C-alpha cells in the first residue's frame, strides 16, 4: 500500500534527524505542480518537497549541491528519496524579495536600501552565471541542457497560444512565425556559454537577515547572460521604475567588465531582445495560469507586463527587424479584453466593498445601504471542512482550516471565478461613481467555508484594488 504525502514527510524527517514530527503544514501553491511542506520538530524546521517529475527533482538537487560547493547561497539538501518523489531541504523562511519590495515601497519611491539589495542580488547572479558555470555538468539540466532554438520556440509558442489566442488578439500565423524565426536566429548567434537561471525573479529570491538566498533554479541550463538580467529587471509585478532599471543595468554591466573574457558590448546589444522574449514567456504563463486555469492572481501581472512592453517600444531601437511582431505588441496595448486589468495606483477609491459571511439557517444578510444586496455566493457546493472532526471547533480564520481549504481545487476554481466577477464589478462601479458593493458568502453553519471565502476575497481586493473594505462574519461576530 502506497504512503500518503504526509506519511512520506514524517518518515523522511525521522530518517534525517531521528526526531518525531510535531507539525506538518502545506505551503501555499505556486505556479507549478510541486508541493512544499514546512515540517517542524523540536527546535528545528525543514522544508519537505514532493514532485512526481524525477528528472526535475534530480536537476534541482544536483544543481543545489554544485552551487553550494561553489559557495553560492542556495538551500542545503538534507535528504533525498527520489523513489518516493520527495526530498528535504533547508528552510529559508517566508520573506521573498517581492514581499520585501512591497513593504519598503509602501509609501512610494524606490529607497536606496532596496537598490542595495538589488545590487547584491546582481553580484550573486554573476557568480551563478560565470564563476559556477565553468565545471557545471549541463547534462543534468531539465528539460534541456541549453536555452537553444527549441527552447526559444517553445516560449514563443507559449506566448502565441496561451496569451494571444486567449486574449483574443488577432494575428497572421505565418508572418508572426517569420518574425519569431528572425528573433530566434539572432539570439542563437549570441554568446550562450553561461549558466541561465531561467526564472530569476523576485518570488524566487529569499531574504534571510537581509541577505539574498536563491531558490527555484531547477529549470536552469546553459544560455546567455542577458536573459536573467532582463528577468529580474523586467519582473512585471515588481514594477521597477525605468530609471531604477537603468541604474541597476549599469551596475551589472560595470561588474561584468571585471570578467575580460565576456563581450560586454554583445551583452548590451542583445539585452532588450532577450527582455522581449522573457516578457513573452511570462505573458504566456499569465495566460495559461490565469485565462486557462482560472487562477485570477496571475492575471494581476498583465498590466505591469504591458507597461514594460510599452516602455521598450517607445524607448529602444532593436538590432533586428520584426515589424509584424511589433504590430502584435501594439494590438496588445489597446486590446479590449486586457483593459480591465489595471495597475494599482496610490489614489483612494470612493467605493466601499462590504464583504459578509453568513449561515443560510438565519437568512441572507440585509443590505444596509439600500442597494438590494449585491452578490450572494453559495459556498455549500465546495468541500466542507466542518465534516472533519479536527476542524469542527475551528473557523475559516484558523490556520488548519485555511491550509485544508487552500489545497482543494474546487475551492480554488470557485474563488477564481468570483474574483473575476467582483473585479469587473469594481471597475464598473468606480467608473459610475457608485459608493458601495456588497458581496455575501453563505454556507450551512456560517463558520468555515463562507468565512474562508470572505477572507480570501478581502485579501484579493487588498492586493489588487484601492477600494475600502468592510468585512463582517455574521455568525462569528
Closest CA to 450 of 373, 351, 364, 349: 364
Structural domain includes residue 461: yes
In the sheet with 45-50, reading across from the earlier edge strand, the strands are 23-26, 35-40, 45-50, 86-90, 77-81
Structural domain includes residue 344: no
- Which residue(s) pair with 304 in the sheet? none
- Which residue(s) pair with 90 in the sheet? 46
pLDDT per position as a tens digit, 121-175: 999 999 999 999 999 999 999 999 999 999 999 999 999 999 999 999 999 999 9
Shared-domain flag, residues 318 and 358: no
Query: Which three cell numbers, joined as nine digits, stand for 150?
Result: 527549441
Q: What is the predicted pLDDT for the residue at 465?
A: 74
Contacts 24+ apart (CB under 8 A), 302-307: 302/236, 302/338, 302/341, 303/338, 303/341, 303/342, 303/343, 304/236, 304/237, 304/239, 304/343, 305/236, 305/279, 306/332, 306/333, 306/338, 307/239, 307/343
Shared-domain flag, residues 205 and 254: yes
Shared-domain flag, residues 286 and 324: yes
Shared-domain flag, residues 307 and 387: no
The last residue of one of the domains, among 55, 90, 125, is 90
CB proximity list for 35: less than 8 A, separation 6 or greater: 5, 26, 29, 49, 50, 51
Cβ count within 10 A of residue 19: 13
Shared-domain flag, residues 78 and 133: no
Place of cell 549570441: 190
Q: What is the predicted pLDDT for the residue at 250?
A: 98
Predicted confidence band of residue 31 (pLDDT cuts 50, 70, 90): low
Q: pTM of the full predicted structure?
A: 0.79
CATH of the domain at 332: 3.90.1200.10
Shared-domain flag, residues 378 and 331: no
Shared-domain flag, residues 291 and 158: yes
CA distances from 188 to 152, 223, 318, 432 (A): 9, 9, 16, 51
Shared-domain flag, residues 249 and 172: yes
Relative orientation angle of helices 399-406 and 449-464, to the nearest 10 degrees? 80
Structural domain includes residue 37: yes
Shared-domain flag, residues 108 and 86: no
Shared-domain flag, residues 103 and 85: no
- The pLDDT of 25-48, averaged and rounded, is 87
Integer Cα distance of 33 and 85 in angstroms: 12
Q: 451 in helix, strand or coil? A: helix
pLDDT per position as a tens digit, 70-93: 999 999 999 999 999 999 999 999
Shared-domain flag, residues 114 and 191: yes
The last residue of one of the domains, among 90, 108, 130, is 90
DSSP category for residue 92: -
CATH of the domain at 36: 3.30.200.20
Structural domain includes residue 343: no
Q: What is the predicted pLDDT for the residue at 2?
A: 67
Q: Where are the alpha helices (DSSP H) in 295-370?
A: 296-299, 302-315, 323-334
Q: What is the predicted pLDDT for the residue at 348?
A: 59
Structural domain includes residue 176: yes
Query: Which three cell numbers, joined as nine digits, stand for 269?
Result: 546589444
Structural domain includes residue 346: no
Structural domain includes residue 331: yes
CB proximity list for 422: less than 8 A, separation 6 or greater: 353, 375, 437, 439, 457, 460, 461
Closest CA to 405 of 447, 363, 439: 447
CA distances from 462 to 270, 399, 450, 458, 468 (A): 38, 20, 18, 6, 9
Q: Which domain holds residue 410?
A: 352-473
Structural domain includes residue 345: no
Shared-domain flag, residues 239 and 332: yes
Residue 296 has pLDDT above 80, yes or no: no
Q: What is the predicted pLDDT for the residue at 347?
A: 52
Number of domains into which the chain is organized: 3
- The pLDDT of 283-309, averaged and rounded, is 87
Amino acid at each position: 500500500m502506497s504512503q500518503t504525502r504526509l506519511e512520506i514527510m514524517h518518515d523522511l524527517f525521522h530518517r534525517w534527524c531521528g526526531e518525531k514530527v510535531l507539525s506538518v503544514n502545506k505551503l501555499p501553491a505556486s505556479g507549478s505542480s510541486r508541493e512544499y511542506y514546512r515540517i517542524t520538530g523540536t527546535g528545528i524546521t525543514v522544508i519537505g518537497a514532493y514532485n512526481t517529475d524525477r528528472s526535475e527533482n534530480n536537476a534541482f538537487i544536483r544543481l543545489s549541491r554544485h552551487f553550494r560547493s561553489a559557495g553560492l547561497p542556495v538551500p542545503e539538501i538534507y535528504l533525498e528519496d527520489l523513489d518516493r518523489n520527495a526530498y528535504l531541504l533547508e528552510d529559508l523562511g517566508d520573506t521573498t524579495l517581492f514581499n520585501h519590495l512591497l513593504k519598503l515601497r509602501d509609501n512610494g519611491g524606490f529607497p536606496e536600501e532596496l537598490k542595495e539589495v538589488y545590487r547584491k542580488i546582481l553580484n550573486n547572479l554573476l557568480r551563478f552565471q560565470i564563476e559556477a558555470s565553468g565545471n557545471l555538468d549541463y547534462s543534468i539540466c531539465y528539460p534541456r541542457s541549453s536555452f537553444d532554438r527549441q527552447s526559444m520556440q517553445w516560449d514563443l509558442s507559449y506566448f502565441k497560444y496561451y496569451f494571444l489566442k486567449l486574449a483574443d488578439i488577432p494575428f497572421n500565423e505565418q508572418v508572426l512565425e517569420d518574425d519569431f524565426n528572425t528573433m530566434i536566429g539572432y539570439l542563437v548567434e549570441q554568446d550562450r556559454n553561461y549558466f541561465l537561471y531561467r526564472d530569476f525573479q523576485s518570488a524566487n529570491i529569499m531574504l534571510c537577515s537581509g541577505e539574498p538566498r536563491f531558490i527555484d533554479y531547477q529549470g536552469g541550463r546553459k544560455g546567455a547572460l542577458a536573459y536573467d538580467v532582463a528577468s529580474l529587471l523586467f519582473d512585471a509585478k515588481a514594477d521597477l521604475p525605468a530609471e531604477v532599471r537603468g541604474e541597476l543595468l549599469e551596475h551589472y554591466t560595470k561588474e561584468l567588465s571585471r570578467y575580460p573574457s565576456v563581450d560586454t558590448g554583445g551583452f548590451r546589444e542583445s539585452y532588450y531582445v532577450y527582455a522581449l522574449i522573457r516578457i513573452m514567456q511570462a505573458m504566456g504563463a499569465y495566460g495559461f495560469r490565469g485565462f486557462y486555469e482560472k487562477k485570477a492572481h496571475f492575471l494581476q501581472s498583465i498590466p505591469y507586463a504591458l507597461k514594460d512592453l510599452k516602455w521598450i517600444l517607445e524607448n529602444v531601437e532593436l538590432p533586428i527587424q520584426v515589424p509584424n511582431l511589433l504590430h502584435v505588441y501594439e494590438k496588445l496595448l489597446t486590446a479590449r479584453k486586457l483593459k480591465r486589468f489595471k495597475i494599482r495606483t496610490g489614489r483612494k477609491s470612493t467605493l466601499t466593498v462590504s464583504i459578509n459571511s453568513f449561515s443560510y439557517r438565519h437568512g441572507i444578510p440585509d443590505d444596509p445601504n439600500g442597494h438590494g444586496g449585491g452578490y450572494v455566493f453559495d459556498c455549500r457546493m465546495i468541500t466542507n471542512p466542518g465534516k472533519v472532526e479536527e476542524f469542527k471547533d475551528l473557523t475559516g480564520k484558523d490556520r488548519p482550516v485555511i491550509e485544508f481549504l487552500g489545497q482543494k481545487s474546487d475551492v480554488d476554481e470557485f474563488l477564481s471565478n468570483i474574483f473575476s466577477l467582483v473585479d469587473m464589478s469594481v471597475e464598473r462601479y468606480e467608473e459610475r461613481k457608485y459608493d458601495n458593493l456588497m458581496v455575501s458568502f453563505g454556507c450551512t453553519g456560517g463558520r468555515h467555508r463562507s468565512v474562508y471565502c470572505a477572507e480570501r476575497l478581502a485579501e484579493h481586493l487588498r492586493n489588487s484594488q484601492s477600494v475600502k473594505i468592510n468585512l463582517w462574519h455574521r455568525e462569528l461576530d
